[in-house]
Amino acid sequence: MVQLLRYVFLFACLMLSACDNGEPVSLGEQNVMPEKELPVWLDGTVNMTPQEWLIMRSRPGNQETTAVPINEQNAVGLLIDQASARFDESHRMVANRAAQLQDMLAEHDIHEDAISLMQWFVDLPATQHPHSFSAMCQYYYNMRSQGYSQQEVGQALLKM
């Protein structure tokens, strides 16, 4: 019986030592950290700024692979500030909607990244009546998915 307990104890120790504790896995001279997936939505639990998240989210594959250069963060941060002020929506909401629009368009084989889309909306002259960023994204999606060009969408939105 004591012999059996020793084997069970030894087996348990071996199993526990094999558990991954989140540290890089050493493979020879390389340290390989499992890739982290970027959150689909920017919520209060995401530990990054809206501009960092949106830049990473706009990258092909949406992977959090490298740090975002500070000059790029500043430029996108300014763009988010402008969109937030113009459409009276939070930075997080604007970033989420731009990323959502990117994904929805991609389903129709229309490849426009979230940052470029946000810039397009910020550069768009004021419409006749104020609209939220979310509503503008929905109008844009509806028209682009029906085959209208970006220029045609812009002309239609200006009449709203």
Question: What's the pLDDT tens digit per position in 109-140?
Answer: 999 999 999 999 999 988 777 789 999 999 99
Give the separation between CA 138 and CA 6, rounded to whole angstroms.
65
pTM of the model: 0.72
Distance between CA atoms of residues 131 and 153, nearest Å: 15
For residue 18, name the pLDDT band (cuts at 50, 70, 90).
very low
